[in-house]
Amino acid sequence: MQQARAIPGDSGWPLVGHSFNYLFDFENFTRKRFARYGEVVRFNAFGMEFVALLGPEANQLVLQNRDDLFSNASWEKMIGPFFRRGLMLLDGDEHRLHRRVMQVAFTNAALREDLDGINRTLDESLAAWPSGDGIKVFDLLKSMTLDVASRVFLGQPAGKDSEAMNRAFLATVQAATGVIRHDLPFTRWRAGLRGRQLLERSFAAALPAHRGGSGNDLFTRLCAARTEDGQPFSDEDVINHLVFLLMAAHDTSTITLSNLLYQLAKHPQWQERLRDQSLALGRTQLEYEDLERLADMDHAMKETLRLTPPVPGLPRQATRDFEYAGYRIPKGTLISISLWMTHRLERYWKEPERFDPDRFAPGRAEDRQHPFLWLPFGGGAHKCIGMHFGAMEVKAALHQLLLRFRWSVPSGYTLPQDWTSLPIPADRLPLRLERLG
């Protein structure tokens, strides 16, 4: 029997490992790491040692998770104090139970209903957007998507505390990549804990009204939901799911829209192509049936998600020893799969660094070469429960933006990504916005 090879890689600097490489040089660090060591490599970051696996076959192994070979305990280590018992952190039968109960909020019927609230919120928000040079669009988008999430998930506008909630959500996400992982002054960890406390207080105060409510918002649906044996979610679980879902809903949509607007500013021919198709619909707001009609918009969104997946990697933990690609990986190992790098593998993607939405068109369909090649929403049992909601929101927002504005960036401008949490524009994406009509 052939002896398993030692896993290549290095632990980086004492104590901090590769934390700073990941935070401040993510793209180069990721490319160089795999180029030097291959598609199985160990590294240390944020006080934890990982084995990173690259490629669609690795993605399939981890995300299909046959025989429960992997657990989500790694998420618990990274974000447990801030998103405890969120759907992404649950495993096995408990995960399946909670996901099945929550799925009622993301059926086609529910999404049809949600689209009306999304459209009204987008209309109100975009009517107040300024025009001119240097408009920091990321901040406007983040406020707008929180308004959407508040109306659809909580049944109310974001209100006067929306800025505090935005800061709280950002703090909880950034805490995951804190180098100092203790409740100490001036640390991300402490800011994340304080943000979590603010969100808990806000939702706990609103919970009694939703327990007996009759609304169609997610908050009320979670309060009314019952397990197969007739038991409701506890107050704690309702709040846990709300914190996680609101973060996921508005952060990922903001990242996708920011990068999509950037790409359409850099490639004005695509912006005009999508605008012409939106104009051809003859209506200011998308209807549910329109979502499948705007093929070019769908391809542009998919290409943006390929280039900048909102969650660039997914961690898991091995529940027992296993072998992969000739390497023996022991029980308890923290595993990381790189979605960002998989989306750039030259053997699958033609000119992978180029923005080319037509790569998703039926004649090419580069993403169809492997079922785990393009996966910005993850895959397997933990595939993002809100993926269709998120895509619907992005398309509805882009449609209204195309009809209201033309936008551009100076020649030679390149968006600087801030990788210290999820990828966000370091400069808040300053655009020139020209109002149309």
> 386-425: per-residue pLDDT in tens?
999 999 999 999 999 999 999 999 999 999 999 988 899 9
Q: Name which residue leads in pLDDT, 155 or 417.
A: 417
pLDDT of residue 382: 92
From CA 89, how far away is CA 152, in angstroms rounded? Answer: 23
Q: How many domains does the chain have?
A: 1
pLDDT of residue 296: 98
pLDDT of residue 313: 94
pTM for this predicted structure? 0.93
* Rounded average pLDDT over 298-312: 97
Which CATH number does the domain housing residue 135 bear?
A: 1.10.630.10
pLDDT of residue 45: 92
Position 154 in a domain: yes
* Rounded average pLDDT over 161-178: 85
- What is the percent of the chain where pLDDT is above 70? 98
Among the listed ranges 157-161, 198-202, 305-309, 318-322, which one has the minimum average pLDDT value?
Answer: 157-161
Give the up-direction half-sphere exposure of residue 92: CA atoms within 13 A in the CB hemisphere: 8
* DSSP state string for 150-209: IIIIISS---TTHHHHHHHHHHHHHGGG-SS-SS-TT-HHHHHHHHHHHHHHHHHHHHHH
Among the listed ranges 29-33, 109-113, 209-213, 427-431, which one has the minimum average pLDDT value?
Answer: 209-213
Annotation-wise, does 384 bind a ligand? yes
How crowded is residue 333: how many other Cβ atoms within 10 Å of its Cβ?
18
pLDDT of residue 163: 81
| Pair 419, 298: CB distance under 8 Å | no
pLDDT of residue 5: 82
- What is the percent of the chain where pLDDT is above 90? 73
Position 55 in a domain: no
Cα-based distances in Å from 229 to 91, 98, 235, 241 = 20, 13, 18, 20
* Rounded average pLDDT over 148-162: 81
Res. 180 pLDDT band, cuts 50 70 90:
confident
Res. 131 pLDDT band, cuts 50 70 90:
very high
Position 337 in a domain: no
Among the listed ranges 19-33, 44-58, 91-105, which one has the minimum average pLDDT value?
Answer: 91-105
Position 320 in a domain: no
| pLDDT at 200 > cutoff 90 | yes
* Rounded average pLDDT over 158-174: 82
| pLDDT at 160 > cutoff 80 | no
* Rounded average pLDDT over 85-101: 88
CA angle 396, 402, 405 (to 5 degrees): 125
From CA 376, how far away is CA 51, in angstroms rounded? Answer: 20
| Pair 254, 138: CB distance under 8 Å | yes
Segment 5-48, tens digit of pLDDT: 889 999 999 989 999 998 899 999 999 999 999 999 999 998 89
For residue 194, give its domain range. 94-310+355-435
181 pairs with which residues across the strands?
Answer: none
Q: Are strands 405-408 and 70-71 parallel, antiparallel or unpaired?
A: unpaired
Position 18 in a domain: no
